Structure 1
């Protein structure tokens, strides 16, 4: 006996499937639209975005340290206080350095006086040289006069000799002529000696002038040295005021009134108001990166608030190369590790809450390598 299927069973084994419901169609269409939109976004924008969470806020923090040693007499800064560029933050006792300035100023005056003495000495030697040259001229004139007189007396002696041989002159006149000749010869020798002494005296004065000029150079050098010491003393006196070189916020304050500070000992740090971001991208991510491309910075501390930035520069080497002990792969055991390349991101000015970002905060950086 054959059993006939019921109408319900006949509908169940029908070769025609049931039509899909409208909700299913809508869901499928929405899913397709979402996938299409995501594909368009990825093709036009998403594939060009490169991000990293290995990024931190940085700032050029300045650590203040005294250039001189001494006791602090004033401290004009508190923790986390805003400071201006050039503002006096602390004062070192000035008494010792003021005394050194007075001492150096006295040394400058003494050196200036010694310089004036040497200049006056050179002026006196110059006048004496001029006077001595006049004496030499007088001595040379006396030599010429004595020579002429000696020549005249020699001629007179020879004339008396001829007259004596002719019995015209007497012996007494001949002897007088010889005596006059000898006298004029002696006067000529004395005049020549005087001229020679005058020339030698001029040479001595020239030598004294050279020595005085050398002393003048020395005195001038001593004055310059004394002036340099005075300038150094004034610099040290000015260094008793510890000033902030930049505007920012004071931190890590360790200075107190009455504290003795040493040269180079850190007293406090000034954090500037301007900050930037260092993002450590993988070396495989920077192929399409260029300076000037736009970047988006997400700050973890502010519930993911985003800030706009710009790629400013690339580090000259990977972070591992600047480590205290750089890796050396030439040891026989080699494991390839993707290196990190630091990229500096400049935050654009005029953004809300930009002044609340602090150095050291963790951020996420996304760079658009297609635009910018």
Structure 2
């Protein structure tokens, strides 16, 4: 039975009111159970690949957007100059090791010379004792007139000469001992130089190994800016490796929303790139400051025309590795997140902020 025409507007209005009330009710229920934001982006701890030695690029073994494993060789540099440097360092080290052995040989020779000079000192002492005995005997005979004064003078000269020989032998022995001591210092210096040469060999080996530039982590190659024949220097960016399996979401919630958030709460992630497919995640941590504090030019609020603006706090959300699209998220994608705030899981934002204070002051909660 058709409604009278005058009741149609009333029925339409009632239907509209019911729809609006129903929608408002659903929105209110959803608002009580969830916190939403579309100010969220996918990020990953990408690693920039850079050489540690300079040289010309001999080979580029990966292309754009290919998956690589940790330790895989990405780029090879021309190793010729570094091989020559290693050979030179090895030759220098061998020469210095030979120099150390030469000093040891000299030290052994000096020990033999010291023994020879010590024997010379003993011989000179014996000759001096004999000369002193002759001098005493001839002196007694000369005083009794049995020999001529000239013979006594000859004995005295012989004794003086023998004493001088003793002094000379002892001086020669001391000189040899000082030479042996100097060889000890020379050996220590040569050993230090040889150790530096061995270190140079080790450094040359390390530099030679670094001509093979390897992937620091597993992931996908991006921003490849290296080509064969290119000259590269240490620190120059060759490419980036993005660990897609470890991508996460940074959602910027309003400060009026974070009071209901807790670490461990489940999160539903929607990305335009995947249509209506949802990705599961959970809240991992809260940033230590709002996004404006990390800006290049922080906001200065100490002005007369201040207007309060609701700030946003970055919240890190990790993706459930069991989710089918866990490894498909690309850094830079914008996503929408919905947090189920009904779960009482880990500490809330307020608790993570004040917990260190309780620990510091010894206050138990």
TM-score, with length taken from structure 2: 0.78
Q: Does 1:313 align with 2:298?
A: no
Q: Does 1:53 align with 2:24?
A: no
Give 1:51 shift.
3.3
**In 1, Cα distance between the equivalents of 2:260 and 2:115?**
86
Task: Give the gaps of 5 or more residues in structure 1.
Answer: 1-23, 161-170
**In 2, Cα distance between the equivalents of 1:139 and 1:349?**
94
Q: Does 1:237 align with 2:208?
A: yes
Identify the residue that residue 123 of structure 1 maps to in structure 2. Answer: 108
Q: Does 1:282 align with 2:254?
A: yes
Q: 1:38 to 1:139 in 2, by over 3 A?
A: same
Matches within 5 A, 1:317-356: 317-356=289-328
Select the residue among 219, 239, 252 that pairs with 2:223.
252
Q: Is the 8 A contact 1:279 1:342 kept in 2?
A: yes
Residue deviations 1:163-189, cap 9 Å, x none?
xxxxxxxx4x142xx555434433332
**In 1, Cα distance between the equivalents of 2:32 and 2:155?**
123
Residue deviations 1:27-61, cap 9 Å, x none?
x9xx99x96x998x67xxx6464333222111111
Q: Larger deviation: 205-214 or 85-94?
A: 205-214
User: Helix, strand or coil for the counterpart of 1:256?
Assistant: coil
TM-score, with length taken from structure 1: 0.76
Give the number of the structure whose alpha-carbon radius of gyration is greater: 1
Q: 1:294 to 1:210 in 2, by over 3 A?
A: farther
Q: Does 1:301 align with 2:273?
A: yes
Matches within 5 A, 1:54-133: 54-133=39-118
Over the aligned positions, Cα root-mean-square deviation in angstroms equals 3.0
Select the residue among 324, 334, 340 that pairs with 1:362.
334
Residue deviations 1:205-257, cap 9 Å, x none?
23222332222222222222222222222222222212111111111222222
Q: Larger deviation: 181-190 or 192-201?
A: 181-190
Task: Give the gaps of 5 or more residues in structure 2.
Answer: 1-13, 346-365
Identify the residue that residue 218 of structure 1 maps to in structure 2. Answer: 189
- Residues paired across the two proteins, number: 325
Q: Is the 8 A contact 2:262 2:344 kept in 1?
A: no
Q: 1:230 to 1:149 in 2, by over 3 A?
A: same
Identify the residue that residue 9 of structure 1 maps to in structure 2. Answer: none
